[in-house]
Amino acid sequence: MKLLLIFLLAFSLYASDGKKEHHLSKDLSSLELTSEQKEVAKSIIKQFRVDIKAFREFKEKMEDEKERLVTREVLNEEDLQKINQAISQKASTVESRFLLQMHTLLTPEQRQKFAHNLEEWEVE
């Protein structure tokens, strides 16, 4: 348990790219994962972090596009809605993929504990 926590904290510090760092403590120690589950969880979390980074880059590009729209002479509401929907859809996809993988990995008892901290895993 402690090893997983140390790994996640170290990875979190190492993965910082100087940008605004979102709080991703991802402490799974309360779930009492088996050794096999720990290995799979590491892989799932690693992919989640890659997906989050890609999402943030996508969101930044969409926000830049939104800024360009706002500087136009005429602002089209439909264009703004498309950008906002694209951001929301991408965030939903990343979060859903992660939660489905974790659901498959965890036992029913572990899922109950995991569910108490879902806000930590929300994609923003």
Q: Is residue 86 a part of any domain in this protein?
A: yes
Q: Is residue 6 a part of any domain in this protein?
A: no
Q: Is residue 55 a part of any domain in this protein?
A: yes
What span, in angstroms and rounded, lies between the C-alpha atoms of 22 and 35? 28
Q: What sign does the CA torsion over 6, 42, 45, 29 have? A: negative
Q: Is residue 33 a part of any domain in this protein?
A: no
Q: Is residue 18 a part of any domain in this protein?
A: no
What span, in angstroms and rounded, lies between the C-alpha atoms of 40 and 44? 6
> 56-83, pLDDT tens digit by residue?
999 999 999 999 999 999 998 999 999 9
Number of domains forming the structure of the chain: 1
> 20-67, pLDDT tens digit by residue?
333 334 678 889 999 999 999 999 999 999 999 999 999 999 999 999
CB 59 within 8 A of CB 87: yes
What is the span of the domain harbouring residue 88? 45-124
Q: Is residue 37 a part of any domain in this protein?
A: no
